[in-house]
Structure 1
Amino acid sequence: MRKLILALILLISLFFIYAPAASIFQEEYSNNSDDSLLIEAFKVSKAQLVEVNSNNTLHLSDEFFTLAEMNHVLASILKALKIEGQQHIIDNQGYYEPLDYETLQKYDDNTIIVRVNSEIGYNQITATAIDDIGKATTIILYSVDTSSIKESYIIIDIVHNKGYKDIVETNNISNEVLSKYGDDIENTMSIVGCYLGKKFFENSSVILDDIGSFLNAKKIENVSDISYNSTTLYSPMLTKAISYQNKKVNLQLATRYNEYEDKTYLWIATPLIVSTY
């Protein structure tokens, strides 16, 4: 169970990687949602879409969910997201990947894998479902109550790999259902694309500059090597930003060349890339 807790702590920490030094700003002007703007910015790149990952995380301090309460919340989220299917329950499994494609492939498309872990002062339910168009949804409900900490998280993580369909609407629904339980919600979104060949990596500075220009973004930091290029920026067109080292940031762009696949990968994320690239 300790490995499972450590894995979840790592997952949560990725979502809040800059939280200790960050504060959130809400810009007063925006004619479009951040999700829509990120999609339009990706189109500027002319890259082939690999996947879109959206994550909405609610933090609840001084609150502990029983398993019964977690099941009630899970049912509400599944209903809101229109996820239907037979639930396959796995109790007290050891370490597992929340999005385990190998396990999911053993079941029909309409099966929802629900993993339940519980000990004194600790409850977790992880539900995963993949629909017939390849959209993978993972819902994590996590609660801990010890002598030093009492808190809960509700996480809705969605991966699309078949296009942009319903991304903005699904994110809006996720935020709406989470807001029923609290208002400390963090949102991240990243889009991954690719190009065939290394020449696109060699020209990646131009690609990243074009995306940044589309979003009227100012460069804050750039890190590059022989195989990757990463730029952190601030765009006034995006509605939220984090403050890190006294500077506002809300956009990260990166490219990496994979010599084994002979592909150049592109990441566009707000506010930051939280996955390994």
Structure 2
Amino acid sequence: MSLSNKELRLYLDGLLKVHEINDFCPNGLQVEGKPQLKKIVTGVTASQALIDEAVKRNADAILVHHGYFWKGEAQPIVGMKKRRIKSILDNDLNLFAYHLPLDVHPEYGNNRQLANLLNLENISAVSGVKPTGVVMTGELPSPMTADEVAALLSKKLNRHVLCEDKSGSLLSTLAWCTGGGQGYIETAVEIGVDGFITGEVSEQTIHTAREMDVAFFAAGHHATERYGIKALGEHLKEHFSVDVEFVDIDNPA
């Protein structure tokens, strides 16, 4: 079965409530290709490696979390950007990208999917942080040490996890923001959770964790954001009966 690129755009824009969220890039159809879609490849980032895999797999569209045309980036289409876009145009591919709308979606979003992966309970979005759902809180099924949480994350995400914990206390409540969310650590402290999970770490984040007595976990930008786009693709496969394949391009960051 196939669907049109317009049909997919309208469906995803509505499902992810694109027009309600201010973002750093355009969300939706970023590069238009062939009008009918029989095969969709999903992935975290529209890298050259993912484009090449999509071509090899005879895809008609690529659906990613990290697309193109970010605010503040250089506008000329030269070098790496030119090679990527040329590959997409030469192969008549459609490129769909959803950034913050996918992070915060209550069912398919990166934050929700990470919570599901860890079997967290009593999950809710932190009120007052926009867009709603960009920081979430929940409870571990049973109290764990920070080392045990780090080991769980490492097992589930299949990567090394940086853990900073001064107190050694048992953790019961967590806050998290996938990807580059280390700046929300003070929000986590303000709402009184025991630990904060994100993808990346900055130099000052470690000092904040130590001085404000909160356990901190950096589990990888790519690793923490695999699961939203994967879940969204699985939903499309079921909803439209279209061929959708997730391709994980390894990235240690």
Q: How does the TM-score come out when normalised to structure 1?
A: 0.26
Which structure has more strand as a fraction of its residues?
A: 1
Relative contact order, CA 8 A, sep 6+: which one is greater? 1
Q: How does the TM-score come out when normalised to structure 2?
A: 0.27
Which structure has more helix as a fraction of its residues?
A: 2
